[in-house]
């Protein structure tokens, strides 16, 4: 109907014309790469600039202690008590006491420090001893180091997925894990942010009594749907811009580092031969980048859009019902909590079950139940989903959306006109049952 169109248009413009929309749309896709880049940069710099610390040591077992990246070891000649006294008067990092010990059971090695050493520091010193002792043992047992090294074999299992039609496709579990995690988290954020916006908008309309004027011209259900759809179209626009921006930035960066994305293969499945050939030619990094690029992006984007829309419409309707029932965002808290529980469950399961065992029964069921399926399905997306599961999940999502919208609509039409009432679940149920 024409009037719903007007409301959709108004809601859309309200959001899109805001500065915050522009900022979020342009900067969020850049923020994550920027933060990661910055962290890597800082870590590299601090590693390079780190001053080496001096550790005094008293050795009663005559060991050889090589300097490490962080520590310089200086031998102190004298008994422990004297060493302790000398150490307290210096600025050195620590005093290491190495008593005479048995190779099979080293005991009594002690590090004296003025401040508590970090776990990393302690580990690095422990590893130092472990290597030393291992070499001493090898010497004692007459084991040749070369022989030992030759026993070690590097095994890399390459994974290739065969589809029912017999098509083979190389896959990289690490990459799929990353994709699933990124999509799941993004879905969680999207649903939450947009759902909360719907609720906020409705509370605002209710407290300013705008709703009375609007509802005298359209049915409450039309207003609610207009708002939900209007905001959904904002989300779609934002998503679209993000895809374009991220693609551009990614290709730009790859080009900058001189890695040429294989464009002909970008959207196709790479044949085993080609994959094998490339593996031989390209470095490992280029390989996993190719892996990323060769993912079925069109399919992932479509699935993401579908589940975003479905999940958003379900949660949006619930958030709308909550917004209509309360007079302030603070009052809404008690109702938001139960709504977020399925979201939290699917979010946490993403890390506990779904990414670890994407075809396990918990993962499968979570990705079929409508309230949890948007996040759970995105977690599984890279690993391949049997067609029947996806079809069932999508169907249930649509059914779930229709059901929640119907329930929410019934609460909404009464709620928006009630101010100053103390609302609990009993009241909500009464509104739901109310006629006319």
Partner 1 sequence: MDALEVKDVTKRYAHHVALDKVSITIPEKTIFGLLGPNGAGKTTLIRIINQIINPDEGEILVFGEKLDSPHIGVIGYLPEERGLYKKLKVGDQLLYFARLRGMSRKDALTKIKFWLERFEIKDWWGKKVEELSKGMAQKVQFINTVLHEPRLIILDEPFSGFDPVNAQLITNEILDLKKKGCTVIFSTHRMETVEDLCDHIALIDKSKKILEGSKKQVKEQYRTNTFIVDHRGTFSLNGGPYELLDQVEVEGGLLKSTVKMNRTGSPNDLIRDLIQITEVNSFQEKIPTMSEIFIRLVKGGSHE
Contacts with partner 1 by CB under 8 A lie at 3, 6-7, 10, 14, 204-205, 208-210, 212-218, 417, 430, 434-436
Return the number of the residue (169 or 206) whose C-beta is nearest partner 1: 206
CA–CA separation, 96 and 124 (whole Å): 13
Please, how many CA atoms are within 13 Å of residue 98, restricted to the half-sphere of its CB? 24
Distances (CA, A) of 84 to 106, 145, 226: 22, 38, 77
Return the number of the residue (28 or 427) whose C-beta is nearest partner 1: 427
Sign (positive/negative) of CA torsion 80, 83, 87, 92? negative
Shortest distance (Å) from residue 4 CB to partner 1 = 10
Let me know: does 377 contact 350? Beta carbons within 8 Å. Answer: no
Return the number of the residue (66 or 436) whose C-beta is nearest partner 1: 436
Shortest distance (Å) from residue 403 CB to partner 1 = 24
Shortest distance (Å) from residue 24 CB to partner 1 = 17
CA–CA separation, 403 and 395 (whole Å): 12
Longest dimension (CA), the chain: 95
Shortest distance (Å) from residue 209 CB to partner 1 = 5
Q: What share of the chain is helix, strand, coil (3-state, %, to 5)?
A: 70, 5, 25
Let me know: does 428 contact 244? Beta carbons within 8 Å. Answer: no
Shortest distance (Å) from residue 422 CB to partner 1 = 14
For 148-215, the three-class secondary structure string (H helix, E strand, C coil) is: HHHHCCCCCCCEEEECCCCCEEEECHHHHHHHHHHHHHHHHHHHHHHHHHHHHHHHHHHHCCHHHHHH
Return the number of the residue (258 or 436) whose C-beta is nearest partner 1: 436
Q: Alpha-carbon dihedral of residues 322, 327, 329, 333, nearest 10 degrees?
A: -50
β-pair type (110-113, 94-98):
antiparallel
Sign (positive/negative) of CA torsion 16, 18, 19, 21? negative
CA–CA separation, 155 and 169 (whole Å): 20
Run of H or E residues at 217? none
Q: Which two tokens stand for residue 60?
A: 């009663």
Shortest distance (Å) from residue 336 CB to partner 1 = 23
Let me know: does 314 contact 404? Beta carbons within 8 Å. Answer: yes
Shortest distance (Å) from residue 220 CB to partner 1 = 8
Let me know: does 55 contact 94? Beta carbons within 8 Å. Answer: yes
Return the number of the residue (139 or 213) whose C-beta is nearest partner 1: 213
Shortest distance (Å) from residue 235 CB to partner 1 = 19
Return the number of the residue (183 or 234) whose C-beta is nearest partner 1: 234
Return the number of the residue (17 or 49) whose C-beta is nearest partner 1: 17
Distances (CA, A) of 378 to 76, 95, 294, 396: 60, 53, 18, 16
Q: Which two tokens stand for residue 238?
A: 């934002």
Return the number of the residue (213 or 240) whose C-beta is nearest partner 1: 213
Return the number of the residue (82 or 212) whose C-beta is nearest partner 1: 212
Shortest distance (Å) from residue 234 CB to partner 1 = 15
Shortest distance (Å) from residue 436 CB to partner 1 = 4
Return the number of the residue (157 or 433) whose C-beta is nearest partner 1: 433
């Amino acid at each position: 109907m024409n009037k719903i169109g007007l409301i959709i248009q108004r809601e859309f413009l309200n959001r899109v014309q805001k500065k915050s929309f522009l900022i979020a749309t342009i900067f969020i896709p850049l923020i994550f790469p920027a933060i990661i880049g910055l962290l890597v940069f800082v870590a590299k710099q601090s590693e390079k600039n780190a001053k080496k610390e001096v550790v005094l040591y008293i050795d009663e077992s005559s060991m050889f202690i090589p300097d490490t990246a962080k520590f310089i070891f200086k031998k102190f000649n004298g008994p422990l008590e004297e060493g302790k006294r000398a150490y307290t008067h210096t600025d050195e990092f620590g005093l290491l006491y190495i008593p005479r010990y048995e190779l099979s059971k080293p005991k009594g090695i002690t590090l004296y420090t003025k401040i508590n050493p970090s776990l990393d520091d302690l580990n690095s010193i422990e590893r130092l001893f472990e290597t030393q002792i291992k070499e001493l043992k090898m010497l004692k047992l007459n084991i040749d180091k070369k022989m030992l090294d030759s026993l070690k074999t590097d095994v890399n299992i390459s994974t290739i997925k065969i589809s029912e039609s017999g098509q083979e496709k190389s896959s990289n579990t690490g990459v799929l894990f990353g994709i699933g995690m990124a999509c799941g988290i993004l879905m969680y954020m999207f649903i939450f942010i947009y759902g909360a916006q719907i609720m906020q908008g409705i509370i605002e309309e209710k407290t300013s009594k705008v709703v009375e004027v609007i509802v005298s011209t359209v049915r409450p259900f039309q207003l609610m749907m207009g708002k939900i759809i209007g905001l959904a179209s904002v989300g779609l626009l934002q998503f679209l811009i993000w895809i374009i921006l991220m693609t551009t930035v990614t290709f730009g960066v790859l080009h900058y580092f001189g890695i040429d994305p294989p464009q002909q293969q970008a959207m196709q499945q790479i044949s085993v031969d080609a994959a094998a050939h490339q593996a031989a030619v390209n470095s490992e990094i280029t390989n996993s980048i190719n892996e990323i690029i060769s993912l079925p992006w069109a399919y992932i984007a479509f699935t993401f859009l579908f589940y975003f829309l479905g999940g958003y419409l379900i949660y949006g309707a619930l958030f709308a019902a909550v917004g209509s029932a309360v007079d302030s965002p603070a009052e809404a808290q008690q109702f938001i909590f139960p709504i977020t529980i399925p979201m939290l469950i699917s979010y946490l399961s993403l890390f506990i079950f779904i990414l670890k065992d994407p075809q396990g029964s918990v993962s499968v069921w979570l990705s079929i139940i409508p309230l949890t399926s948007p996040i759970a399905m995105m977690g599984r997306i890279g690993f391949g989903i049997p067609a029947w599961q996806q079809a069932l999940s999508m169907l249930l999502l649509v059914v779930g959306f229709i059901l929640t919208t119907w329930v929410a609509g019934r609460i909404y039409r009464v709620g928006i006109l009630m101010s100053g009432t103390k609302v609990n679940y009993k009241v909500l149920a009464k509104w739901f049952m109310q006629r006319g």
